[in-house]
Amino acid sequence: MAAYVHSMRSYLGTGVKFALNCYGGNASRERLEVYIHEEGVSDLVLFISVLPGAKILFWKKLLTPSCLAAYDVLWLLDSDLLFDLDHFPLYRFLSIGMKTKAAIFQPTVYATIYQELRPVHTADRTVAQAVCIVEIMTPFIRSDMWKEIHRQGLVYIDDTILYNSSWGIDNWWCDFAANLQLVSRNSNTTVGRIPPACLVIKDTQIVHSNSRSMPREDQAGVDSRLASVKPWVEHSNKTNVSGQCERLDDLLRQRQQRLFYFDEKTMTRIELGSASHAQHKKIVGKEVPRGWKKNAAQIYNRNRHQDLKAVERLNAKWKDKVLIGNGSTWEFLQLLKKVIDPTDNSLLHTNQWSHVLQVYTAMKADNITSPKALSLALIHDFGKLLVLFGEDDANIMCSTIVLKHGELGRGLDSTITTWNHDEFGFQKLRRYLPPDMAWVIRYHSLSPLLKGELHQFLTPEELTWFPLLRLLWKYDHMSKRSMYTPLVDLQEVHAILSKFLPEKICF
């Protein structure tokens, strides 16, 4: 532990303070005080505790926003990390992490357990990599982000769930950080690149020794870093850790679905899950961030400058391009959780997976049982995944307009429209779907068609498909609710999708 403190102090100054908690074994508070005194760091310790249970319970109880108000950053560190200067380049790690302005970052952790949670290693030249998971053993978190993680996450989880739970939250807080960053960006008039929410500094590695830091009573005087014990195996044999983690993960997901709007004047909060549709519309109307509409207007303005050459260029760029390859249809759809439509003033920062589930459940609530309609509810915005591969929002998110009319009665194929997610989704799914469903995906954002202005261009067959398009359009627009993810029967969703899509598709 002395290596932690003296190394940090030499680089960050005397403003560094440590909060220590021993949550395993049978250590007493008195033994912990003796331990830090012998290490010569007692003057730098903010507080110590012996709080039984896993580390997450300690975070909830003691690392509160009020306790940490005077500090800029929080670093959550397991004490069985080899942290001395011979093993870990502290200064380089901090330099890279702070320059990126990532909300949460960590070094690459070298260990022998939970390999499936490790970030995918890229080429050696990669200095840092944006990831969807930052592990709980060594995350470096900015204080404003920790405040929200604590306020909107930890405080709503029952202590009995956190007790003896050591995993789960690391699968959640990167998504949470990404959503918060997007909200912050859209409420700010400054336009710029969003920093990564979570980052692994591949250029710096730290060793997790998987050993006990505090010696047991019968190991007094033995350096625990050299004592080859297996605390995780011992702990797992005593408690149903996997069951606790599943419950924790479920609660975190539910909590993520139950965020609140705050009225700045009255500082009262309204839980959207209990608000009527009319109340929700009223709330959303008041809470659209100041910069959101301006940013949406700028995106639409760029989109409306698309011309025939731009459409031809985008078609050539993306039509036959394989982005990932063959993969699970379900996993590709799950990527919609990472997609936000910055032009949608109703959904705001609600992800597109939540949106398609809203459309699906709205249809179900009105007793619509058509497998085609329900499947389209789930896959109609599949093309928005293109935003994850670097294309401009203006070429993906906006509604569709006609650039050049075709011949009467010859079908919409002869009409040229602006290029967006409709066309990209159509190109990716057309080989798997019946013609009417593929057609609906291709034109579900074409406003003039929905207004009846293009019927003269449709073929007789397309006219029979139009009611399905109109049905999707109705629920696509009327079901939108910000910060709401409905609960669905996933087995039922899988069954409906399997009627039209294979288990694996090429993307």
Which residues neighbour 342 within 8 Å (Cβ) at sequence distance 6 or greater?
186, 292, 295, 296, 299, 393, 397
The Cα-based distances of 62 to 55, 85, 489 in angstroms read 11, 29, 38
**Does residue 248 sit in the same domain as residue 296?**
no
**Which of 80, 71, 97 shows the shortest CA–CA distance to 22?**
80
Q: Tell me, what CATH number does 386's domain have?
A: 1.10.3210
**Does residue 401 sit in the same domain as residue 320?**
yes
In a domain, 273, yes or no: no
- Higher pLDDT among residues 402 and 231, named by residue: 402
* 444 labelled ligand-binding: yes
**Does residue 424 sit in the same domain as residue 301?**
yes
**Does residue 351 sit in the same domain as residue 466?**
yes
* 455 labelled ligand-binding: no
pTM assigned to the model: 0.50
φ and ψ at residue 205, rounded to 5 degrees:
-120, 145
pLDDT at 26: 55
Weakest mean pLDDT among 35-49, 77-91, 271-285, 401-415: 271-285
Confidence of residue 182 (pLDDT cuts 50, 70, 90): low
Q: Which range marks the domain in which residue 447 is found?
A: 288-506
The arithmetic mean of pLDDT across residues 174-194, rounded, is: 63
pLDDT at 299: 93
In a domain, 59, yes or no: yes
Q: Examine the pLDDT at 25 and tell me if it is beyond 60.
A: no
> Tell me: the pLDDT tens digits for 397-431?
999 999 999 989 999 999 999 999 999 999 999 99
**Does residue 237 sit in the same domain as residue 104?**
yes
Contact 271, 260 (CB under 8 A): yes
Q: Examine the pLDDT at 44 and tell me if it is beyond 90.
A: no
Q: Examine the pLDDT at 185 and tell me if it is beyond 80.
A: no
* 305 labelled ligand-binding: no
In a domain, 434, yes or no: yes
The pLDDT mean for the chain works out to 75
**Does residue 296 sit in the same domain as residue 245?**
no
Q: Can you tell me which residue has the tokens 């929905």? A: 450
φ and ψ at residue 207, rounded to 5 degrees:
-95, 125
> Tell me: the pLDDT tens digits for 461-490?
999 999 999 999 999 998 998 878 888 888
Residues 384, 385, 388, 391: is their CA dihedral positive or negative? negative
**Does residue 204 sit in the same domain as residue 63?**
yes
Q: Examine the pLDDT at 225 and tell me if it is beyond 60.
A: no
How does DSSP assign 156-185, residue by residue?
A: GS-HHHHTT--SSGGGTHHHHHHHHHHHHH
Distance CA 99, CA 405 (A): 50
pLDDT at 200: 85
Which residues neighbour 85 within 8 Å (Cβ) at sequence distance 6 or greater?
3, 7
**Does residue 227 sit in the same domain as residue 339?**
no
pLDDT at 46: 65
pLDDT at 32: 67
Confidence of residue 23 (pLDDT cuts 50, 70, 90): low
Confidence of residue 352 (pLDDT cuts 50, 70, 90): very high
pLDDT at 36: 67
> Tell me: the pLDDT tens digits for 261-303?
222 332 222 232 333 334 334 333 445 776 788 889 999 999 9
**Does residue 361 sit in the same domain as residue 313?**
yes
**Does residue 252 sit in the same domain as residue 293?**
no
Where b means 16+ CB within 10 Å and e means fewer, 374-407 reads: bbbbbbbbbbbbbbeeebebbbbbbbbebeeeee
**Does residue 307 sit in the same domain as residue 446?**
yes
Instruction: Return the DSSP state at 420.
Output: S
* 381 labelled ligand-binding: yes
Q: Examine the pLDDT at 387 and tell me if it is beyond 70.
A: yes
Coil, strand, or helix at residue 224?
coil
Q: How many structural domains is the chain composed of?
A: 2
* 421 labelled ligand-binding: yes
